[in-house]
Chain A
């Protein structure tokens, strides 16, 4: 029989394995074959890892044959953004600089998802070092949106969103620093989750901005996405910022009942919104009201300062984190003649793409003598104010609902000429990142042109369960 790899959900895979409709190896082979055939359309995978996938699938089949439980992701084909290290499997961060880098260890999230039976099919394309909002900053070519091939999939985790939308993976891992999971999820019409900062270990996530970086899952359903998060979440001694907070059963929270839940609508998130997106979001809010939610207006007065705050902090942290790429430890060195300092400068100048250079420069500038207080310290203070906005809002409501992006997926090349305009498009997602609260994008409809629109749901620190409760009930009501 042929396996419908492009539409399978995790519960369907578990049923299929249990009822012997297919084995994990048959599923992995079918998924790898389909991914290999379909990938040229989107360029979403940078490389597939057949050997590792089939070895893991064999292990799952053996466990099943022995009557053991391989775990909640048994046999599930997973794709992983190429900024998360995989032992023995090339991890490039979509950069020329790391084109040949083979990590000597697995990220904690990778260890956990394989221990739960997940089968990693391959590594996905993204913006170089996760810096971008359109996936056009990859050294290995842009990703195309599977919904509309002349449009971007969003970024920076564009590949991880695209493979799930395209059906070449069932779920995937991305990373989110200022919206890099939620925005591509909204552009591609899939579910994407940024958990609480510290919920998922960053060990093995190549660092961009350490106080803002998150690993986050994508899926075609809320339940699949929550299942993957539950597997990778929890304290890890290898990441001192990973939180020692219990991880509840997210499925138990998906009751379908939203009666009496207080949902806040921050008015600042509706200025500058494209009408085609706004109409879909307003209809979604009406649907939440019909499900019994109490909809309230709230105000988040510091929202307008979030872009500057975010781009000062993230570039400052990036300029430090990217200092390690010096032509010594990570595979690629300039062949230009010269001494040690020349070698550093030439290797970095040749290796980094334009957006990484811009952010290294901006970050170095805001941290440099005479500007540190005016930019970096000031931004850290405003970050505190933005966080307080959320704290105050959550005294009145249980969740916030906003758009994810001011507009739907745009055409390739449409916004590359103006970096500031590209930064400004991150306005609705970066606030939650700065506060470190859980946020997600759930598909909520299409524009008249058929482009997907995502609704963002935000809750208190560590209340992913509350967020999934809203997303799941909304998803069920939308079917």
Chain B
């Protein structure tokens, strides 16, 4: 087994994802199958191969810089328009600190 039920519960907590008991069972099976397949990558010799985090092509060093000009930002009202719960110009969440 590549992954146990305990590990699936641990990863779900890391991902802040509530899974039902049925979903956990299915996830153990699916991830185990997929990770076993992925293990074949170990057959590839990557000695002295650089990791590639981004698509690479020839460009000038400053290619990604834009002019540092003032722009009107999203208004507070627009930013909050899709909030699940808001009030007083803020997002509202369940109480975090108990008195």
Contacts and interface: CB of A to CB of B under 8 A. Distances in A.
B63 A384 contact: no
Interface string A327-354: 1111111000011111111111110101
A244 B34 contact: no
A312 interface: yes
Contacts of A354: 23, 26
B59 interface: yes
A307 B37 CA distance: 9
Given A102-B82, A237-B66, A361 B18 contact: no
Interface string A434-449: 0110000000000000
Contact of A362 (B31, B60, B81): B31
B17 A378 contact: no
A241 interface: yes
User: How many interface residues does chain A have, given as a range?
Assistant: 35 or more
Contacts of A245: 59
B91 A375 contact: no
B87 interface: no
B19 A349 contact: yes
Contact of A348 (B17, B40, B42, B63): B17
B19 to A, nearest CB: 6
Nearest to B13: A345
Given A211-B53, A338-B94, A345-B18, A382 B84 contact: no
B1 interface: no
B3 to A, nearest CB: 7
A interface: dominant SS: helix
A420 B78 CA distance: 41
A321 interface: no
Interface in A410-438: 419-420, 423, 435-436
Given A381-B51, A382-B44, A352 B17 contact: yes
Name, among B56, B78, B84, the residue most crowded by chain A CB atoms within 10 Å (CB to CB). B84
Interface in B52-67: 52-57, 59-60, 63-64, 66-67
Contact of B52 (A312, A343, A380): A380
Nearest to A358: B30
A318 to B, nearest CB: 11
Contacts, number: 172
Nearest to B12: A361
A384 B84 contact: no
A419 B30 CA distance: 7
A319 interface: yes
A349 B41 contact: no
A328 B17 contact: no
A204 to B, nearest CB: 13
Interface string A355-384: 001101110110010000011011111111
Contacts of A375: 38, 41
B95 interface: yes
B36 to A, nearest CB: 9
A104 B81 contact: yes
Interface string B1-26: 00100011001101111111001001
Contacts of B42: 374, 378
A474 interface: no
A364 B11 contact: yes
B27 A198 contact: no
Contact of B57 (A101, A243, A329, A377): A243
A81 to B, nearest CB: 20
B73 to A, nearest CB: 11
A213 to B, nearest CB: 11
Given A308-B37, A365-B11, A341 B30 contact: no
12 contacts: A245-B59, A308-B38, A308-B40, A340-B94, A343-B93, A344-B16, A345-B18, A347-B84, A348-B18, A378-B44, A381-B44, A383-B51
Given A331-B84, A381-B49, 19 more contacts: A237-B66, A243-B63, A244-B60, A307-B37, A311-B34, A326-B16, A348-B16, A348-B17, A349-B19, A357-B19, A358-B27, A360-B15, A365-B3, A365-B35, A380-B52, A382-B49, A383-B51, A385-B44, A420-B34
Interface of A: 100-102, 104-105, 196-198, 211, 237, 240-241, 243-245, 302, 305, 307-309, 311-312, 319, 323, 326-333, 338-350, 352, 354, 357-358, 360-362, 364-365, 368, 374-375, 377-385, 387, 419-420, 423, 435-436, 461-462
